[in-house]
Chains A and B, each alone.
Chain A
Amino acid sequence: MSQFEVAVDERACVVHLSGEIDMAVTDELRAAVRDGLDRHDTVELDLAGVTFLDSSGLGSLVLLRNEASDQHKSLSLVNVPPMTHRLLQITGLRNTFDIRDA
């Protein structure tokens, strides 16, 4: 019951994530983002609604970034909550992502 939701804004190709992102929702997260990457060159991942994100979620973000890069497409993060910012910092991933403010 990790209240995780994905909402995709087709026009702007923004994937809105909300709730808790852990190992239980990695598959769902990956499917949603891959779907966006299939149809757009650039995809924004909006983390504004994320209340929890752990190393499983980070692993998925790394996987999706790598896939986008392989397809010469871009994946960027917007509205990164402070806690996730901290995790990116701790794990040294902060500069490997394209992080934007909305």
Chain B
Amino acid sequence: MSAPARDRPTVDTPAARPPLSTPAPVRTPARRRVEPMTVAVAVVGIVLTALATLSAVQADRNTERRLLQTQTRQAAAVIAGAVSTFEQTLGTALDVQAAVGDRRGPRVFEREFAKHIGPTSTFVEGSLWHVRGRTVRRIARLGPDAALSTAEAARIVRHAMAIDTTAVRRVERRGRTIVAYVLADRTRGNVVFAERLIPADRRAPVDRDAAFADLDYATYLGMPVGPSTLSTTDVPLDRLPLGGLTARAVMPFGDNTLTLVARPKHHLSGPLSQRLPAVFLIGGLLLTGAAILVVRKLVGARRRADDDTATIRSLYDRVDAHYGAQRDLFERLQRALLPQVNPNIPGVELATEYVAGAQGIDIGGDWYSAIGFGDENFAFVVGDVSGHGIDTVAEMARARFTLRAHLLDGNSPQAVLEKCSRQFDIATDGHLVTAIVGVGNWRTGEVTVANAGHPLPLLAGDGEVGFVQMPVGPPLGVGWNSYEPATFTLTPGSTLIAYTDGLIERRNEGIDVGMTRLVDTVRPRLGLGLGTLVQQTIKTMRGPDASDDIAVLAVRRPGAWHRFDAGPATPAAARRFVKAQLAARPVPTGVDTSDIVLVASELVTNSVRAGATVVDVDVRLDASTVEVVVEDDAPGWPVRSTTDHDALSGRGLAIVEEVAARWSIARRPRGKSVTATFEGRSPDGATTQ
């Protein structure tokens, strides 16, 4: 593991962003601990090495054993050849005896056999015997000194007469070891007896044969194999018996057996086979060591990579957190600059919505604004300051309040834009401002709009949905301009939607596609409450990768407003109007229409009694609620009294309070507006709150 200091990240801090504090080292201190992976590799390596070494040892032993057996058999063949030479010598002597006859036999034997007798010859002693019946006679003798006594020799001769082959006897006598060979011609009774001396060093002349070159050996005459039967060997006697890897060959030797025990003098199968296990062992251990080193290196590299990943991730998290905090701040500022509550403008419904861009801190400069002024007038603005970020938000605030001030001064929309065009300059502000400004009368529904480079507002009413066709002037900030107004009527029940371009623009898409989509989105939703309509429109229109912010303002002129001249008959007229409205539209289930009629009657009665000259009545329905709105121009404020049973009036509001789910009252420039709300059951059956 490396020292933490090596990996302490350095951060390239962009100038436009706040400096990041140096992150605390994420890396954990280097640890000296044994990786399970390393242990596994070591174990596998050692096991494989051991297996390879053992199998090489096994293979070598098998090869060695096979080679030793082969060589031992070859050596045994050499010995067998030597034995047959001895037998042949004896046999030849017998053949000569048979040819020359008994009379000349002994002399011939002494002459012919003498060449085989001597210290350096095959035998040291030789004799010719004749057996007839029970009589055993030695008829000729060669050599200086027989090891066996005549009686001992005679016993062996007699034995040789009983068998078909050569009798072979090992005899220890006076520190010498003798092997006696006795072969009989059983038909003629001739027997040749020879003694062969085994040298003191026990070396046999046969071991000069190449078959013995690689072997240590010992031969044993007769059974059991041991010191008492040892015949010849090429190792010092105190090294017997031969240990280690040995092979035996047992071969007939006359009437006896000769056992050859052999041991390799050196590795028979060659140096490679002998060293292969060691090669495997050393090579395997070296490979295991190398594998462990590689594994350790890989594991270390991976751990460092993990640590680096964690460091980088924590850096990103910090950056994200900083950006998030900054973005949150900007968005809060942006929202703080938008109207918190829509003004309660008589005669129109209003809904607004602002959605910040999805990514980054690049808060935009979209805004909306609505004002009610005079008795019957309202004004609205939807605007967009070009650019993103805090400067843009500040410029938006300036634009918003400047336009608002001009509107409150009573300027027409076109005059407001014209005045603003003198106040905004892209050269000094760095921003362009587009805006649509409208002023309307809620009683007549007449609306005048002027447009400074802004997307056309959508008008939905009388069964048609389309964009308000109007002259579009230059944006604010490009110099002095005058603007042409356009006028249209917001008929009862119709809706005007003004918005910023974020609503209709999507990447890689023409603007007219977005406008068509807006029409298609709004059309089926016109039956919804205005706030719901706006929310659903934004939700549907907003692209999945929307990065731009969106401001939407919608104005609806409710369809039911009816103005009555105040008089004793007004309550009855208002009741008929309310009944008709309820009959013409779907009333939410769970709402009693007679309650609504009663409440409308009470409210209108109050207005008439309060001295109103006109009373405006509206009935508003949506999926689960019904609202009755009664507005008048009377200066009085309603009072209620329910405790006095003798009071002649003042029970109206008590009834309203009891029958309606809730009611509210608001002052108007002249008079007041009272709204009573009735709750039905929403489609899922629950009573709305």
Contacts and interface: CB of A to CB of B under 8 A. Distances in A.
Report the contact-size class of chain B (Cβ under 8 Å from the partner): 20 to 34
Nearest to A58: B651
Given A54-B602, A93-B645, A96-B645, 12 more contacts: A20-B575, A22-B571, A52-B597, A54-B571, A54-B605, A55-B602, A55-B605, A55-B652, A56-B649, A59-B648, A62-B646, A90-B659
Interface in B586-610: 594, 597-598, 601-602, 605, 608-609
Given A22-B572, A24-B569, A92 B645 contact: yes
Interface of A: 1-2, 20, 22-24, 52, 54-56, 58-60, 62-63, 66, 83, 87, 90-93, 96
A91 B598 CA distance: 14
Interface in B641-689: 642, 645-649, 651-652, 654-655, 658-659
Main secondary structure of the interface of A (DSSP, over half): helix
A90 B575 CA distance: 21
Main secondary structure of the interface of B (DSSP, over half): helix
A73 B93 CA distance: 188
Most chain B beta-carbon contacts within 10 A, residue among A54, A92, A93, A96: A54
B594 A66 contact: no
Contacts of A66: 646
B568 interface: yes
B644 to A, nearest CB: 10
B652 A54 contact: yes
A1 B574 CA distance: 12
Interface of B: 568-569, 571-572, 575, 594, 597-598, 601-602, 605, 608-609, 642, 645-649, 651-652, 654-655, 658-659
B572 A63 contact: no
A52 B654 CA distance: 17
B651 A59 contact: yes
A23 B571 contact: yes
Nearest to B649: A59
B571 A24 contact: yes
A66 B646 CA distance: 8
A22 B571 CA distance: 8
Contacts of B652: 54-55
Contacts of A56: 571, 605, 649
A91 B642 CA distance: 6
B642 A92 contact: yes
Contacts of B572: 1-2, 20, 22, 24
19 contacts: A1-B569, A2-B569, A20-B572, A24-B572, A52-B598, A54-B601, A54-B602, A54-B605, A54-B652, A54-B655, A55-B649, A55-B652, A55-B654, A56-B571, A56-B605, A58-B651, A59-B647, A60-B648, A62-B646
A59 B655 CA distance: 13
B655 A87 contact: yes
Nearest to B601: A54
Given A91-B642, A92-B642, A93-B645, A55 B655 contact: yes
